[in-house]
A and B are shown apart, each in its own frame.
Chain A
Amino acid sequence: MATYTLKVRRYQPESGEGPYWEEFDVDLDPSLSVLDGLLQAKDRDDGSLSVRCSCRAAICGSCGMKVNGQSTLACKTQIGEAFEAANRRNGESEPIVVEPMGNMPVIKDLITDMESTHWTKIRRVTPWLLPHGAPPEREYVVEPESMIDITQSMACIQCGACVSSCLSMEADPDFIGPAALAKAYRFVGDPRDAETEERLHDLAHDPHGIYDCTHCFSCIDACPKGVAPMDQIMRLRRKAGEHGIDDDPNNGHNHVTAMTKIIEKKGTNDESLLIQESYAPGVKGKLKPTKGAIKGLTESLPTVLRAIKTGKARSLSKLIPGIHPKLPDGAQDEVKAIYEHAEEHREEFNVYIHGEEDVEPEPDETKMEETA
């Protein structure tokens, strides 16, 4: 048993006052949870301290909040570990900081409005099956193997921790966001769904869709269930590319294609060509600017001019797209061979499904033979 201080961000809209911090001392075994601490404070000190919770076992997804700035489930965070995390840098007397989830309005204390952001965004991606044709007499029959790919996104418990942590949404509240896009992949990858291409087209053509993710990994660390929403967003991008959806308004597909082509030809990145091709890809020797290309290229100009002025980008290979040198001494041919091999196979290895346990054939058998 130890005493911990919880520094809780409180807010009661009916008071007419803004949010404020209040500290509660709680006495708990370090292996108990931050949620247990909050419930003890509510029981002992202030019954009006508001928190949403139910199962206390990381199943229901009700108690999403920020503990020491990290979006998580309060019931899945041990209070002893939270104390250590709060005191990693500044001695041993810092309180455990508990706040409501980010990127959504606060209703009261630690209770956020899941409806206006999380659920609205979830509904945005049509989170139900869209099969074609008359339904079968009994259930849809699918091979179990064909569903494995989407088990990771199916593990979502809708707690909103990823939405709370999303750094893209922090800068662009219209971003569809990690939870909804992970849910979108759950249906894009479902063999029973018949509108895969329409879904991908919709998500790629929304300027706040799959190409609005900044690839910051925050949602991966926030998710209590290993859904890795960002990985699902990258799968959606890959699928959109495979379906030939190349005219998204964010130039996202162009950017991926440009980078892939440049490394095949040069081995290292030709940044000026990447900028040009991301906006206006060259097709058979002719530039095909997309709708926003002229705007995008024009907006890049002041930055490029400044870089020329300071000497950052004064060499010709940095200024003229395409004259960037190849890798030396046949190394470029090695890269090309890798492209041929990988484009032929296109294997997709998912650590979540496979696990990290390497099942290398043990040399023990040989040893045993030798011993025998």
Chain B
Amino acid sequence: MKLAYWPGCVSRGFTPELHGSMAIAAEKLGIELVELDRANCCGAGIIAEHNQELADTLNARTFALAQQTGLAMMNICSTCQGAQSECQQRLDADSAYRAHVNEVLSGQGLAYEKGKDGWTNKNFLWVLVEDYGLDKLAERVTRPLSGLRVGPFYGCYVVRPKERLGYDEFPERDLYLEKVIETLGGEVVEYDGARKCCGFPVITMNRETSLRQAGTHVGDAIDAGADCLVTPCPLCHLNLDMQQPEAAKVVNRDLGLAVLHLPQLVALALGAEPKELGMSKHIASTGWVEDKLSAVPA
């Protein structure tokens, strides 16, 4: 499997461990990634608050760069997925609007074509379940995550709005994390916050609301007996992990729950070591997860 790969900004910013882990996971899965190093930020829904056409055109450029490779596109961020799907919905809805946006891209030898050879843009979670396949994933597991209790945390942008995010065709997209956790040999922890908001989008605008959201979900997962959370969204990771000590202050309780990126969880089950996956860079200690897994040799 070969894919055009958009790593997003955060995986090369404050979650550098994600970028490295995706490379390791891809190698272990046998997926070849062609990184789109000329592509730009998706705007995270924020640039659209300033100028919607600007956000649409920026993402049309990224789509066009991916289409130029002749490959389907993969991202590793729920927020990229949501922001890009939103722009794609508008671009796909009207040929005149698409032509208008393509006007400026044509000067750069680029064009976004609707539905070109069945072209898709999917995040790693969707690729893993829909295109790679859970059976094939199961075959590659060398260190089942036996006894590891994992709470899924999706990130809003891959669960809502359902009508925009392909749930008609793939109605179980909001159950994929559970399926992946089970395929890797782990145990799914049910808790209230799995599909709720981490609060990250308002961290600079309403810090208390933001941290209360993160702290509540982490606390609920701890109460449900989770050893860790797993998320396909690095922005959720920033609030759930990087801000966890601050969130603990707002919800006024001890937290301390490891939060893994999805590629880290996959790579661990495929035999990678926590150190090479950058887990020591996390703010909430991953020691407990590592101890549990060390009982199972890779």
Task: Please give the residue numbers on chain A whose beta carbons come within 8 Å of chain B beta carbons, in ascending order.
Answer: 88-89, 167-168, 170-172, 175, 207-208, 211-218, 220-221, 228, 234, 237-238, 241, 250-252, 255-257, 259-260, 263, 267-269, 271, 275, 278-279, 296, 299, 302-303, 306-307, 310-313, 318, 327-329, 331, 334-335, 337-343, 345-349, 351, 354-361
B12 within 8 A of A: yes
A237, B172: Cα distance in complex, Å: 33
| Residue among A208, A263, A275, A331 making CB contact with B47, cutoff 8 Å | A263
Q: Say whether B54 contacts A343, CB under 8 Å.
A: yes
A-B contact pairs, 21 of them (CB 8 A): A89-B178, A168-B202, A175-B209, A207-B206, A211-B205, A216-B197, A221-B161, A234-B49, A241-B50, A259-B44, A259-B50, A269-B44, A278-B204, A279-B204, A306-B242, A310-B281, A312-B15, A338-B61, A341-B103, A342-B53, A351-B89
Q: Is B52 in contact with A348, judged by CB distance below 8 angstroms? A: yes
A349 touches B202 (CB 8 A): no
Residues in chain A near residue B47, CB distance under 8 A: 256, 259-260, 263
Cβ-based interface call for B34 (8 A):
no
Q: Are A349 and B52 in contact (CB under 8 A)?
A: yes
- When distances are taken between beta carbons in the complex, the residues of chain A under 8 Å from B204 are 251, 255, 275, 278-279, 296
Chain A residues with CB under 8 A of B202:
168, 211-215, 250
Choose among B45, B48, B49 the residue with the greatest number of A CB atoms under 10 Å from its CB.
B49
Q: Could you tell me the distance between the alpha carbons of A231 and B212 in the complex, rounded to whole angstroms? A: 24
Residues of B within 8 A of A167 (CB): 156, 196-197, 213
Q: Which residues of A contact B114 (CB under 8 A)?
A: 358, 360
A265 to chain B, nearest CB (A): 11
Q: Does B107 contact A (CB under 8 A)?
A: yes
Q: Which 8 A-B pairs have the closest CB atoms?
A: A217-B160, A269-B9, A342-B54, A216-B197, A341-B104, A331-B38, A360-B95, A250-B205
Beyond contacts A216-B160, A318-B13, A356-B92: 6 other A-B pairs, Cβ-Cβ < 8 A, are A216-B156, A216-B197, A251-B204, A312-B242, A338-B104, A349-B52
Whether the Cβ atoms of A256 and B53 lie closer than 8 Å is: no
| Given contacts A334-B108, A343-B54, A354 and B46 within 8 Å (CB-CB) | no
Please tell me if B246 contacts chain A, counting CB pairs below 8 Å. yes
Contacts of A354 in B (CB 8 A): 93-94
**Interface contact B209-A171, CB-CB below 8 Å:** yes
Out of A214, A279, A342, name the residue touching B209 (CB < 8 Å).
A214
Determine how close the nearest CB of chain A comes to the CB of B202; give it in whole angstroms: 5
CA distance A267 to B40 in the complex (A): 5
> Is B17 located at the chain interface by the 8 A CB criterion?
yes
With A250-B206, A299-B207 known to touch, is A260 a contact of B38 (CB < 8 Å)?
Answer: no
Contact of B245 among A306, A313, A341, A360 (CB under 8 A): A306
Answer whether residue B140 sits at the interface, using C-beta atoms and an 8 A cutoff. Answer: no
Number of A-B contacts (CB under 8 A): 233
**Residue from the list A208, A255, A329, A348 in contact with B46, Cβ < 8 A:** A255
Q: In the complex, which range does the number of interface residues on chain B fall in?
A: 35 or more
**Interface set, chain B 254-298, CB cutoff 8 A to A:** 280-283
Contact surface of B with A, Cβ cutoff 8 Å: 9-10, 12-17, 37-38, 40-41, 43-54, 56-58, 61, 82, 89-90, 92-95, 97, 100, 103-105, 107-108, 114, 156-157, 159-162, 172, 175, 178, 196-197, 199-202, 204-210, 212-213, 216, 242-243, 245-246, 280-283
Is the CB–CB distance between A302 and B246 below 8 Å?
Answer: yes
B92:A358 contact, CB within 8 angstroms: yes
What are the residues of chain B within 8 A of A268 when measuring CB–CB?
Answer: 9, 12, 40-41
What is the bound-complex CA distance between A235 and B13, given in angstroms?
Answer: 29
Give the distance in Å from the alpha carbon of A289 to the alpha carbon of B241 in the complex: 28
Give the CA-CA distance A267 to B93 in the complex, in Å.
Answer: 26
